[in-house]
Amino acid sequence: MLWSISLIVLYFVAFALYLAIRVAPQAQVLRGEAAPLMVLFDALAERTLALNSMTATARRAVLDRNTPALDSLRAFVLTIGSSPTPLLSDVPRDLRAPLAQSERLTADIEAGLAELVALVETGQSDSAASRLRTLDSLHAEVSQVVFQAERGGFAELAHLETRLGAEVRRAVAVMLAWGALGFALLLVAVSIMRRRVERPLADLRRGLDAVAEGDLNSRVEVRRDDEIGELATHFNEMTGVLRCRAEEQGRFAAAGQLIAGVAHEVNNPLMAIAALTDSRLEDANLPAEMRDDLQQMRRQARRAGKLLSGLLRFVRAGEPLGTSLALNEVVQSAVDLVSYRFGVEEVKLELRLDPSLPLALGSAGRIEQVLVNLLSNGLDALRGTDRPRRLTVDTWTGDGKVFAAVTDSGEGIVPMMERRLFMPFATTKGADGTGLGLYISRQILRESGGELRYEPTSRGARFVVELVAAPAETGVDAANGNSRVRSGRPEPTLRGVQVLVVDDEPAVRQPIARFLGRRGALVREAGDGHEALALIEALEPAVLLVDLRMPRMDGMELCERMAREWPHLLDRVIILSGDLSQLGDALPVPADRVLAKPVELREIERRLVEAVNGGQD
């Protein structure tokens, strides 16, 4: 709408200018030509009046012998020639000859008046009377010529006026013609603009609405190859990228669920392995060689379990925002996730982690995602470069901030990319990159009050992660790795305590039961929730170790039943699960009473003891 009004205003301004340019010079010419004509007529009128007056005076001087009249005439004669005659150059062509003639006749009359005075003064009355008649005749002649000149002058003025009027009429006609043409052109322009601008923009707006409603298959028709067409092409490309991204995320989410399921299935055997090896290792008479083998089995099981939990955390990333994290641990986790690539791609990793690092504000899972992205980028940048290939991760603190930097020894970022580095869809990896990694990473860090920035180096690229340090009281405990100060009291045990172990996997349940039995506990086993309920009703155990995923009645339902029927027992339940990430906020017990498989049997024992003693171990 605005452009339409602007167009109309512009048109009429141009129109006014046209009129000014077209008519003003003509008016100027009219004024230029009329002004000297008016001056000339004034001069002529003045001169004619003077002559009329002087011929009357001369008549009195000659015929009436009037002395004052003669004096007056003589005084007039003295002024003759003192004022210049008008220049004919300023006079219209047709008036030049009559004006020149009137000028000559007037000059003759003036000279005749001087002569008349002389004749009277020298007493030649007859000659004076004769000269007076001649002057009268000349006067009549000059009056006729002046009259003709004036008539010609008026005709000239009328002609000039007619010319101006014609010019104005022509200008008005042109104005009307241009106005009509302009209106028609305006309609055409509006139509064209609607077709060329408004319709494509409307298409684009509909496409954006569709995207906003989640339809990433929305496409806009590219009508032309101008700027709007380019916009439509970009829109289609963008929705394409978003679609790929969504599909990728969908696949990623599906993979996450798959991993969660696999983790649970794998964690149970790992737990069984760990429990069995732990149980065997309790035997003091075990041969040394077998002890070493069992210890090796236990380490590998733990390693596999740790890797699985890291994978689960990475794919779920479901931790709430604003929690605190130990950056060194997050760095280590991220490195673990991509560690297989260091060997394959012959990259030397150097970790220079500040051990005195305070906790930082943020979600460990999301920051780990950022760091994995930066490490992956670094590894990608090093691919194909000369050896040695080095990737360095530094952490440090200062000014209330906690920093981590990932530096590679690759070829660095080309200057033209630096400005667009953190923009969406900016990638140096061609079709292999989405161009969203750094953009999303920066968004994640900014949500935590942090920042991600690029720092050019002499060789390679350096990305710095900046996080806000957590308040001191939050961090001390966690930073010190949950170190606990133990009292000098005797170590509490499970000796004589009724323990109910509920797990559907005998390979997990039985070694735990045997271990706890050896530790003096009175252990009962249940294969699912129903069995557990029967035993609880019969025995009312002091503490329970409950697996979450079980057939017929799982751990969650069991806890709900306990909450209704034996609420006091719920405080003595330790949950055991192969996939903690699936629990979310729906845990039936506090988080510190949840153990992730695989877990050491001693840790299970310790937690059970804590539960029995109400957390006061």
Answer whether 444's CB lies under 8 Å from 369's CB.
yes
Nearest residue (CB) to other proteins, 33 versus 394: 33
545-580 burial, b at 16+ Cβ within 10 Å, e below that, comes to bbbbbbeebbbbbbbebbeeebeebbebbbbbbbbb
Which of 133, 251 has the CB closer to other proteins?
133
Nearer to other proteins, 86 or 598 (CB): 86
Minimum CB–partner distance for residue 24 and other proteins (Å): 24
Q: Is the dihedral of CA 464, 468, 471, 475 positive or negative?
A: negative
Q: How far is the CB of 44 from other proteins (least distance, A)?
A: 15
Q: Could you list the residues that contact other proteins (CB under 8 A)?
A: 77-78, 80-81, 84-85, 87-89, 91, 93, 96-98, 100-101, 103-104, 107-108, 110-112, 114-115, 117-119, 121-122, 124, 127
Nearer to other proteins, 119 or 494 (CB): 119
Closest approach, Cβ 108 to other proteins, in A, equals 5
Q: Would you say 80 or 197 has its CB closer to other proteins?
A: 80
How far is 156 from 615, CA to CA, in rounded Å? 122
Smallest gap from Cβ 72 to other proteins, in A, equals 15
**In whole angstroms, how far apart are CA 558 and each of 23, 69, 168, 228?**
101, 148, 102, 63
- To 10 degrees, what angle do helices 199-212 and 227-281 make? 10
Q: How far is the CB of 131 from other proteins (least distance, A)?
A: 8
Pick 91 or 273: Cβ nearer other proteins: 91
Cβ at position 123, least distance to other proteins in Å: 10
DSSP 402-469: EEEEEEE-S----HHHHTTTTSTT--SSGGG--S-HHHHHHHHHHHTT-EEEEEE-SSSEEEEEEEEB
Q: CB-wise, 96 or 224, nearer to other proteins?
A: 96
The residue whose two tokens read 């153990």 is: 595
36: DSSP letter: H
Residue 11 Cβ vs other proteins, minimum distance, rounded to whole Å: 40
CB of 122: closest distance to other proteins in angstroms?
5
Task: Kindly state the smallest distance separating residue 95's Cβ from other proteins, in Å.
Answer: 10
Quote helix, strand, coil % in the chain, to nearest 5: 65, 10, 25
Q: How far is the CB of 55 from other proteins (least distance, A)?
A: 15
What six digits make up the tokens of 361? 């504000």
Least Cβ distance, residue 125 to other proteins (angstroms)? 12
Residue 97 vs 158, nearer CB to other proteins: 97
DSSP string covering 314-333: HHH--PPTT-EE-HHHHHHH
How many residues belong to the chain? 617
Min dist. Cβ of residue 76 to other proteins (A):
10
The C-alpha R_g of the chain, in whole angstroms, comes to: 56
- 78 vs 188, which CB is nearer to other proteins? 78
Question: At its nearest, how many Å lie between other proteins and the CB of residue 186?
Answer: 45
Minimum CB distance to other proteins smaller for 91 or for 275: 91
Question: Rounded to the nearest whole angstrom, what is the least distance from the CB of residue 104 to other proteins in the complex?
Answer: 6
Smaller CB separation from other proteins, 148 or 474: 148
The answer to whether residues 529 and 558 touch, using CB atoms and an 8 Å cutoff, is yes
Coil, helix or strand for 571?
coil
Q: Which residues contact 155 (CB under 8 A, 6 or more apart)?
A: none
Q: Which residue's CB is nearer to other proteins, number 139 or number 442?
A: 139
Amino acid letter for position 389 = R
Distance from C-alpha of 609 to C-alpha of 574, rounded to nearest angstrom: 10
CA angle 321–327–333, rounded 5-degree value: 95
Q: How far apart are the C-alpha atoms of 419 and 425, rounded to whole Å?
A: 13
Closer of 89 and 487 to other proteins (Cβ): 89
Q: Which two tokens stand for residue 117?
A: 């005075």
- Residue nearer to other proteins on the CB measure, 88 or 186: 88
- Nearest-angstrom CA–CA distance, 501 and 576: 10
Residue with tokens 């709408």: 1
**Which uninterrupted H or E stretch holds 389?**
strand 389-398
Report angle CA 45, 51, 53 to the nearest 5 degrees.
100
User: How many other CB atoms are found less than 10 A from the CB of residue 38?
Assistant: 11
Residue type, 391: L
